[in-house]
Structure 1
Amino acid sequence: MSKRSTEEIIQAVKRYMRGESTQGTEGKLLGVSKATFQSWIRRYETFGLEGFQHTKNRQYSSELKYAAVRDYLNRVGSQADICKKYKISSRTQLQEWIKVYNGHKELRPSTGRGSAIYMTKGRTTTYEERIEIVSYCIAHGNDYTAAIKKYGISYQQIYSWVRKYQEKGAEGLLDKRGKRKPELEMTETEKLRAENRLLEARNRRLETENAVLKKLEELERRWR
């Protein structure tokens, strides 16, 4: 979107909001559909001039995502109303969260993947370290960014370890490359201890999620 076209859009939206024109007329002048012009009106109402500037991707917390989705499911307002209330960039974004929620998946906080944190180089780790790192990550709602900052590892490493644990349990965190026998020769007791540690982290995460849901329900009761 060029600077000139941005100015034209803003002026068109302002004319409509002052009652000097109609959506259809302004849409034709700009060569766009009525639906597109309506989306610009919503963007202006929600974000003002900032909504038409090229800024970094907006970031949303898990709490905000859950609150927005539950508002929609409880028919607190239309998708457009909810986007305006929570300053969500588009209805498409909200619809994606609803899809994730209905699929019984976790609504994770948004992170800017273009940030320097994702350029952190990996490092060599022991099995015990991987257990600790994955436990921390899971206990904090799969917060990869926090794990990267705390343990000085790469995004590729933590993402891979969490996925391996989800697929194979604690044994998936064993490094089976080359001849690293000490890790492969762990006793069953040691493996069970590692598995228990990861399960405890998962339970802490579930407790946190339940606490968040209770808080959201309390807020919803206050809003009604």
Structure 2
Amino acid sequence: MSFTEEEKKKALQLYDETGSIAKVIHKLGYPSRQNMYTWIKNRDIEKKRKKYDATDSPGHRRHPSLEIKLEILHRCFEEGEDIKSISEEYGYSRTSIYSWRKLYLSGGAAAIMNKKKDLPRGTLIVNEDADKGSDNNIELAAKIRDLELENDILRQTIEILKKIRASIC
């Protein structure tokens, strides 16, 4: 027997409300158990087939800003929010979030900045100057990590001093 999309939708909605195939069949008088299982399976497959918008729009950047990445990392790994829900909310994959975290832990905020998107496409020219530039980048990244660590230490020191001052007063 063939069912309309409206009948399928109504049955699936009732299933979502009750959580029981038997209750759906009893209340509506249709479909068979096998039809319900098939409809649920097909609906779940469609939900998993998310079509990502590959365009680079202001609402959803293909390469998110450093601020957005840090906000996502803060919510996931400091506040302990569910990575799957944050991933769905912002529209970036869980793989990307874990990748940003790995980069951040190894190289700080400088490591997750968007450098690749600004590079022009074309042939690569290998020369000695490029190697020197690479060394400079490594030195700069190390210096940034050191400065970020020093900054964190200073912030913690200020917090401790504030607590000591508050306890004295």
Normalising by the residue count of structure 2, what TM-score does the alignment of the two structures yield?
0.43
Larger Rg computed on CA atoms: 2
